[in-house]
């Protein structure tokens, strides 16, 4: 039995046998769902959000908002809900006690056991989870756009998604992650959370975290010739906004750090999680820790402005929130990292806490990196690896309609990470 977040059995609710799935869905009322809901159905069913077995009921939402726990006391910080309008509920004739078939693009996706239909105060929700009710905050905007009611209950995935290239090579369920870690012989695994392409500052963050994690075991590097401490780059693939990196560039450039030797093959691995960022800062940091616990990781990096947006949160709010949660409530160890930068005087990448040449320091700003990519001129390798630059530019032509960043054309015509085929 695999143990996930909260010390509870890791939940996977997936039917892999097509004939069994067809029997289960026979005669069920069909309810189509949008991409975001389909994404969260998949994440719930495979156990990324374990111990959740479905969309949250009112008691769990209320406890999450007020106490940062599920109703049973398990630490939880982000409500995971299925919203529907009163008209949709009436049109589909949905009531508590029903089991319906959720569909995506007219194909079966999952069965949904409706156990609760409820409302919730969106202002209270936003103030607690995001620390603001300002509509310009993307999480608040999402919450405000939820429809009249929320439906809670268990899900069972009856038609596993198919992943399009290049994502198919990087898709691992929680159980698949755990099996891979055992195969590699990793005793400690530290996660690098990202939704960006990597620059050398990210490399140093990972190296710092690896060394901190590895030191807990001993300075023995290998057992039987294999690394015993690993780095997982678990990229977030989800809802895109104009100006974000195209998803293909993110996943391929992160893995390139391994394939081009910047990290040894036996201690670096790249996968992804389907998740639409809420930009909830410290609350989302805890949610990320929960997801990576379910993947089987032992440690998680948290850097400057983790999961933040604008100026809503202190730069290190995602560090401080862990002080408010008893260590025994989380089954993963946070690794807190400060900002890394390039100092021309020192001639190296260094931590902001060490270097005294403040006037000469050059931060790895997103604006700087984006400007480099838009200009199409290879930067110094101290800032950006040339192979990474080439991959990002290739992805721009192959997937991004000429741009490495999300454009309206990419949003309209770009190839999604997954699809739901006929059963």
Non-local CB neighbours of 355 within 8 Å, separated by 6+ positions: 341, 343, 345, 346, 361
Tell me the C-alpha to C-alpha distance, in Å, between residue 310 and each of 249, 342, 350: 24, 23, 25
Domain identity same for 225 and 253:
yes
Domain identity same for 230 and 377:
yes
pTM of the model: 0.93
Total residue length of the chain? 423
213 has a pLDDT exceeding 70:
yes
Q: Which of 142, 160, 178 is the last residue of a domain?
A: 160
Q: How far, in Å, CA of 118 to CA of 277, rounded?
A: 24
169 within 8 A of 314, measured Cβ to Cβ: no
pLDDT for 222 equals 59
Q: Tokens 């990470």 sit at which residue? A: 417
pLDDT for 304 equals 84
Domain identity same for 289 and 306:
yes
pLDDT-based confidence at residue 318 (cuts at 50, 70, 90): very high
Question: Please, what is the average pLDDT of the chain?
Answer: 91
Q: How far, in Å, CA of 227 to CA of 406, rounded?
A: 37
Q: What is the pLDDT of residues 231-253, one digit of tens each?
A: 999 999 999 888 899 999 999 99
Domain identity same for 154 and 172:
no
Q: Which of 108, 142, 160 is the last residue of a domain?
A: 160
pLDDT for 365 equals 59
Q: How far, in Å, CA of 177 to CA of 186, rounded?
A: 11
167 has a pLDDT exceeding 90:
yes
Domain identity same for 130 and 206:
no
Domain identity same for 314 and 200:
yes
CATH number at residue 319: 3.40.50.620
State which residues form the domain around 283: 163-419
Q: Tokens 């490399």 sit at which residue? A: 203
pLDDT-based confidence at residue 228 (cuts at 50, 70, 90): confident
Domain identity same for 153 and 168:
no
Number of domains in the chain: 2
Domain identity same for 254 and 113:
no
Domain identity same for 155 and 169:
no
178 has a pLDDT exceeding 90:
yes
Domain identity same for 75 and 171:
no
155 within 8 A of 111, measured Cβ to Cβ: yes
pLDDT for 212 equals 81
Domain identity same for 206 and 245:
yes
Q: What is the pLDDT of residues 385-395, one digit of tens each?
A: 999 999 999 99
316 within 8 A of 303, measured Cβ to Cβ: no
pLDDT-based confidence at residue 200 (cuts at 50, 70, 90): confident
Q: Which of 126, 160, 194 is the last residue of a domain?
A: 160
Domain identity same for 175 and 281:
yes
CATH number at residue 29: 3.10.400.10
* Cα-to-chain-centroid distance, residue 151: 23
């Amino acid at each position: 039995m695999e143990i996930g977040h909260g010390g509870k059995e890791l939940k996977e609710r997936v039917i892999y046998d097509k004939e069994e799935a067809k029997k289960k869905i026979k005669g069920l009322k069909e309810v189509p769902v949008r991409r975001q809901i389909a994404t969260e159905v998949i994440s719930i069913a495979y156990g990324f959000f374990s111990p959740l077995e479905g969309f949250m009921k009112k008691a769990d939402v209320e406890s999450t908002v007020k106490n940062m726990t599920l109703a049973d006391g398990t630490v939880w910080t982000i409500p995971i809900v299925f919203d529907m309008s009163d008209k949709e509920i009436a049109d589909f004739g949905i009531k508590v006690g029903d089991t319906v078939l959720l569909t995506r693009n007219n194909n079966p996706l999952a069965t949904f056991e409706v156990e609760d239909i409820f409302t919730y105060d969106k202002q209270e929700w936003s103030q607690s989870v995001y620390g603001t009710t300002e509509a310009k905050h993307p999480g608040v905007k999402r919450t405000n756009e939820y429809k009249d009611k929320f439906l809670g209950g268990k899900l069972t995935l009856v038609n596993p998604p198919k992943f399009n290239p290049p994502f198919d090579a990087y898709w691992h369920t929680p159980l698949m992650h755990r099996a891979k870690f055992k195969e590699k012989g990793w005793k400690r695994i530290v996660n690098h959370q990202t939704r960006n392409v990597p620059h050398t500052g990210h490399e140093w963050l990972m190296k710092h975290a690896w060394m901190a994690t590895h030191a807990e075991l001993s300075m023995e590097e290998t057992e039987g010739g294999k690394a015993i401490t690993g780095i997982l780059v678990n990229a977030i693939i989800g809802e895109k906004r104009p100006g974000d990196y195209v998803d293909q560039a993110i996943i391929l450039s992160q893995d390139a750090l391994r394939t081009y030797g910047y990290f040894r093959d036996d201690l670096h691995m790249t996968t992804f999680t389907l998740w639409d960022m809420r930009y909830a800062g410290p609350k989302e940091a805890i949610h990320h820790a929960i997801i990576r616990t379910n993947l089987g990781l032992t440690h998680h990096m948290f850097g400057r402005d983790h999961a933040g947006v604008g100026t809503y949160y202190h730069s290190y709010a995602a560090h401080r929130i862990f002080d408010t949660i008893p260590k025994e409530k989380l089954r993963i160890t946070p690794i807190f990292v400060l900002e890394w930068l390039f100092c021309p005087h020192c001639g190296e990448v260094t931590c902001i806490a060490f270097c005294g040449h403040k006037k000469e320091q050059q931060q790895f700003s997103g604006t700087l990196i984006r400007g480099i990519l838009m200009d199409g001129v290879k930067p110094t390798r101290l800032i950006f690896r040339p192979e990474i630059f080439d991959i990002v530019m290739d992805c721009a032509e192959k997937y991004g309609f000429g741009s490495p960043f999300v454009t309206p054309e990419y949003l309209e015509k770009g190839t999604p990470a997954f699809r739901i085929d006929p059963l």
